[in-house]
Amino acid sequence: MLIRIDLVFSYWIFAWYIAYMVGFTRYNPKWALILGILENLGMFIGLMVFGASVYSIALFLAINMVIKGLPLYTIYRTKASIKDIYAMFVLFGIYAIWVYANHGTIMEYLDKTFYSILHEKNETPAMWAIAKLRSLFND
């Protein structure tokens, strides 16, 4: 079953980055991006340990380079303050409430994401979209 985009915190961070870049918010998402990359490093190691395909791992890395790596690169030299870290915790709290209100848990969605990538199910938003695009060109 497709994991909705609003239930994946990485896309919340990416939306925050876009809002920051266009001047909609003054809170810098730098630390959220760094922590997101660290979480992805853990997931990457897990995918390697549990034998995910090279394709799945490469796609996982490519997607996260676009939604976290490149954004971090563009703001890496910006100053981040303690207010930005507080904003990150507030955003994560809102996300946790949103997930709970949608009858889930954060761990449940982390597990679903990991399982989907590990078994090439293409149930995460970006992987699903890429699989659909590939099928258009392969048919």
SS3 38: helix
76-100 core/surface letters (b: 16 or more CB in 10 A; e: else): eeeebeeebbebbeebbeebeeebe
> What's at 98, amino acid-wise?
W
Phi, psi of 16 (to 5 degrees): -60, -45
Structural domain spans, the chain = 5-138
Q: Over the stretch 62-118, which tens digit does the pLDDT of each residue have?
A: 999 999 999 999 999 999 999 999 999 999 999 999 999 999 999 999 999 999 999
| Statement: residue 47 has pLDDT above 80 | yes
